[in-house]
Structure 1
Amino acid sequence: MTMTTPYDEHSNIMCFSEQNRERLMEIAKERNYPEGSHLFWEGDTADKLYFLKSGRVKVTKSTDEGKELILYMYHAGDIVGQVDPFLAGKHSFTAEVLEECEVAVIEQRDLELVICQHCDFSLDFMKWMSVHHRLTQTKVRDLMLYGKPGALCSTLIRLSNTYGEDLKDGGILINKKVTHTDLSNMIGATRESVNRMLSDLRKKNVLEYDNGMIIIRELEHLQEVCHCEMCPKAICRI
């Protein structure tokens, strides 16, 4: 299996060198997952990684009250999963397919063999794990330190880094429809509070809507509210 599709430079597969990306694909097995299916459920054995060749996947955590918290949104070029080499573990999250996916499935035992055989691969794998941990840490920071307004502003910045398109008039179009319910699930807030915060941002001309899509007009205001630390886009993504 070869990797011929160009992926976004901020996709987490880019943690691996071209040679090591090819090594990953050599041990992978292709599968297709329809929209609405799941790569894995919370509590399943964590013995696989999933490389998305196409499609989108959201990773969620369920609370005791049954509320869904969206932790990550993955797209083509990303590796999904939480394999701990040489250890047996279980998934802490659920991965749901949002758009039909073509996936390269990598078994833990095959991954461990490549890690043992190639020192440069093991270093790239550590780099991938480090990026994933930093992504998690910054999201926890955003959710915990600066309240719901800070969490919302941070999420909007992450969406702009992931799906943003620069407009001629200086705005940034988030080229994916994101509902208020989606945003509430991303920051652990009620839909009503998200509606109120978005309304306040619109009144301040920080953002506007075009055919149901968000356009950010004042990125600096969002950065100020969430005390943005200017993390690289590989980390500051949804």
Structure 2
Amino acid sequence: MNKLSLLSQINLFEELPMDELKVIDKMSDMYPMKKGTIVLNPLKPMHALFLLKKGTVRLYRSNEEGKQLTVDLLGDGNVFGETSTFSLHDDDVYAEALTDVYICIIGKEEMESLMKKSPTLAIKFIEILSARLREMYELSEQIALRSVRYRMLALLLKLSERFGKRTNQWQTIDIKITHHDLATMIGSTRETVSATLSQLKKEKIVQKTLFSLKIDVEKAGEELKGSIG
């Protein structure tokens, strides 16, 4: 794969001129990684930014019992990792490749030097960080004020936007995700999530098979707009 072409499709770099992309191309390394690879491990910290060009990565925490709690799912063009100045996630987060992935890695010194030289890059990074913080605020607000059903529909719509394939009103969420993953992402339990999905399936808002999950985006969107809980 052409690394320069891949870099231009990373959301952090999409507005940069070609000469700046060429500088980043020279200072970054691209790695193909197999499904199941632990890309980021808090026990072996790497102060760097990871640029996900192709594939799906799961961010998760591990509690004292060793249970994995999914924080987020990232697709093509996303960025994760940290420098000493900015962080796109908490310090205790793992990153696992859910599919085969292509990832570029830029060290913290190189990235911070780039941001000092390129106002466009610095502003874009702040925009991404702000969007992540806004998502976290909205989720905490939903957990405090909204029902599990509301939170489930909101999450499924978000995932369908990131990973979905549209067929008429149905959007297929084209990633492997468990009920436990969904539960930890909306602050609920696996049992409650299973019951909620069963009800949504009965109401023909969700279609679930062994390998895929589909959501009627029009019905789900209308319900969220009209919901008070």
- Which TM-score tier does this pair reach, normalised by the shorter chain? 0.7 to 0.9
Corresponding position of 1:196: 195
Q: Does 1:103 pair with 2:103?
A: yes
Judge which range, 107-116 or 26-35, deviates more.
26-35
Corresponding position of 1:209: 208
1:20-99, aligned counterparts within 5 Å?
Answer: 20-85=20-85, 91-99=91-99
Q: Distance in 1 between matches of 2:158 and 2:221?
A: 13
Q: Does 1:156 pair with 2:165?
A: no
Q: Distance in 2 between matches of 1:76 and 1:143?
A: 28
User: Does the 8 Å contact 2:8/2:21 carry over to 1?
Assistant: no
Q: Distance in 2 between matches of 1:86 and 1:211?
A: 39
The two structures have a TM-score, normalised by structure 1, of: 0.78
Q: Distance in 2 between matches of 1:112 and 1:5?
A: 21
Post-superposition CA distance 1:107-155 (Å, at most 9, x none): 0011122122233332232223222322332333333331422221211
Pick closer, same or farther for the CA change 1:144–1:69 going to 2, 3 Å: farther
Tell me the C-alpha RMSD between the 2 structures.
Answer: 3.1
Pick closer, same or farther for the CA change 1:164–1:14 going to 2, 3 Å: farther
Give 5+ residue unaligned stretches, structure 1.
Answer: 229-238
Q: Does 1:143 pair with 2:147?
A: no
Pick closer, same or farther for the CA change 1:173–1:24 going to 2, 3 Å: same
Pick closer, same or farther for the CA change 1:127–1:86 going to 2, 3 Å: closer
Q: Distance in 2 between matches of 1:60 and 1:35?
A: 16
Q: Distance in 1 between matches of 2:104 and 2:82?
A: 15
Judge which range, 26-35 or 52-61, deviates more.
26-35
**Count of residue correspondences:** 224
> How far has the Cα of 1:213 moved from its partner?
1.9
> How far has the Cα of 1:104 moved from its partner?
0.8
Give me the identity figure in percent.
21
The two structures have a TM-score, normalised by structure 2, of: 0.81
1:3-18, aligned counterparts within 5 Å?
Answer: 3-5=4-6, 12-13=11-12, 16-18=15-17
- Which amino acid is the alignment partner of residue 216 of structure 1? I
- Which amino acid is the alignment partner of residue 175 of structure 1? D
Give 5+ residue unaligned stretches, structure 2.
Answer: none
Q: Which has the higher contact order (CA 8 A, sep 6+)?
A: 1
> How far has the Cα of 1:18 moved from its partner?
4.5
Q: Distance in 1 between matches of 2:162 and 2:15?
A: 20
